[in-house]
A and B are shown apart, each in its own frame.
Chain A
Amino acid sequence: MKRKMLVPAVVTLLHAQGLYAASFEQVFNEQRALYGKGHEFSYGGKIHTTFHPEEIEAMAEPNAANARALIDGAEALRVESAAVGYEWRGPAIYIRQAREALAAGRYQSAMELAARAKYLARMSLKQYRNAEANWQRAVPE
């Protein structure tokens, strides 16, 4: 009888683990989707916000040096994603616009555009790593 109970217990346990062991990333993405950026939520006993790291970088003082640093960071990630064949269209466009804004002295705008580019480039690299690990799951048997 105990053995008969074991299998459902294991299944229930695994389900429970799946339900309650949501990663920080899962919770973050859910909160971001539900409430947008800047929302506060708790995870692991701490309070977090739904800002992407790049958006936090863009909150630094709007000046030429900070804008240039953010643009350079975005460009480095864009180049990295292009090198592995996973470049998205967005980053190059936003980097170009950020450089134009920088040249025009619109530092806040330049930093926001560069942050967007950097985020997209980071996501494209994440996609590359995910595809490398999981592409075979879609192959029919």
Chain B
Amino acid sequence: MKSSCRVFMHVRRGSLLALSLMLVSQVMLAAETGTQLQRVDPEADRLALQQYYLKRFPHVPMDEYVNGIYAVDADSRKQWDALMAFPPYEFDLEEGEALFNTPFANGKGYGDCFENGGIGIRHQYPYWNREEGTVKTLEQEINECRVENGEAPLPWKRGDIAKISAYMAFTSRGKRFAIQIPEDDPRALQAYLDGKKFFYSKRGQLNLSCANCHLQGSRILIRADLPGPALGHPTHFPVFRSKWGEIGTLHRRYEGCHRDTRSVPLPPQSDAFRKLEYFQTYMSNGLPVNGPGARK
């Protein structure tokens, strides 16, 4: 009886020790992942994401990730290569250039609103605007440019705004994303962290996060679709999507993905989606701009 009591005490003490270790390891895990403002490390996040994909698809060069699913799935790549013999966005690109160069009623144009006349600047977007205390996207500034010059803003998801953005991306092709998170403004880091949290949080009745499909689910069939890797996601937008039959913006895609989880989707250019774009584009730092793109 005495010895069985001693064994029980040993086991109990051992259980408590094991449980304590489990709890401590959970706390340490949370600290390493940088889930709080004091500890979040965007560069560590970016390198960890790259490492994840290097392990997952060891033969895929890093720059290839700008091509989405076509970087990691040979069969999809063959179809895409055939499609790209005559890229479906070419007419939109031509229209985008014409729209970009058409002066507003006041005689000014888009070039007057942007650095370097709006040419070759896509890789700097989105960025943290210190004065306004918010993330600014390229499409947002295209519309702000219009409003400042007495023109009506364009709808966010498709049409002219996507075409103008496509042309601006095209003039930036090959330039590498270099999204900055100013160290002296903690609001910028908070915006990044909010975007990161959005990406990894499960949503909707289907209980899916962005990461479920585009991290763990990269190149794993969801019904008939193969989700592309998260790395390099924003580099090729706007895209001509075969499903849409037209060109559309990144936030149109965000809205669609969000709806697909059976969530009530947030509107394009909402604060949460701009932060998500900030996080995602930072993850693609170092990858070249290759927009506009063509996708299924």
Q: Chain A: residues with CB nearer than 8 A to chain B?
A: 2, 6-7, 9-11, 13-14, 82, 85-90, 92, 120, 123-124, 127, 130-131, 135-141
Contacts and interface: CB of A to CB of B under 8 A. Distances in A.
A131 B207 CA distance: 10
B14 A6 contact: yes
Nearest to A6: B14
Contacts of B7: 2, 9
A138 B215 contact: yes
B205 A89 contact: yes
Interface residues of B, number: 39
Nearest to A17: B15
A6 B13 CA distance: 10
B264 A10 contact: no
Contacts of A130: 202
Interface stretch (B27-35, B121-129, B159-167, B245-253): B27-35
Contacts of A87: 263-264
Contacts of A140: 48-49, 51-52, 215
Contact of B272 (A2, A85, A139): A85
Contacts of B52: 140
B200 A88 contact: no
A123 B202 CA distance: 12
Contacts of A139: 33-35, 45, 48, 196, 200
> Nearest 4 CB-CB pairs, A to B?
A10-B14, A136-B35, A131-B201, A87-B264
28 contacts: A2-B7, A2-B10, A9-B11, A9-B14, A10-B14, A14-B19, A82-B264, A88-B263, A88-B264, A89-B205, A89-B259, A89-B262, A127-B207, A131-B202, A131-B203, A131-B209, A135-B35, A135-B209, A136-B200, A138-B216, A139-B34, A139-B35, A139-B45, A139-B196, A140-B48, A140-B51, A141-B29, A141-B48
A73 to B, nearest CB: 19
Given A88-B262, A89-B262, A135-B201, A10 B11 contact: yes
Most chain B CB atoms below 10 A, which of A10, A13, A135, A139 = A139
A139 B15 CA distance: 28
Contact of A120 (B30, B35, B202, B205): B205
Contacts of B19: 14
A24 B88 CA distance: 55
A21 B29 CA distance: 25
A137 B209 CA distance: 12
A24 B114 CA distance: 59
Contacts of A123: 205
Contacts of B15: 10, 13-14
Nearest to B14: A10
A15 B134 CA distance: 48
B18 interface: yes
B14 A7 contact: yes
B8 to A, nearest CB: 10
A13 B48 contact: no
A83 B263 CA distance: 13
A11 to B, nearest CB: 8
A137 B216 CA distance: 12
B94 to A, nearest CB: 38
Interface in B256-273: 259, 262-264, 266, 272
Contacts of A13: 11, 14-15
A85 to B, nearest CB: 7
A86 B201 CA distance: 10
B211 interface: yes
B200 A6 contact: no
A15 to B, nearest CB: 11
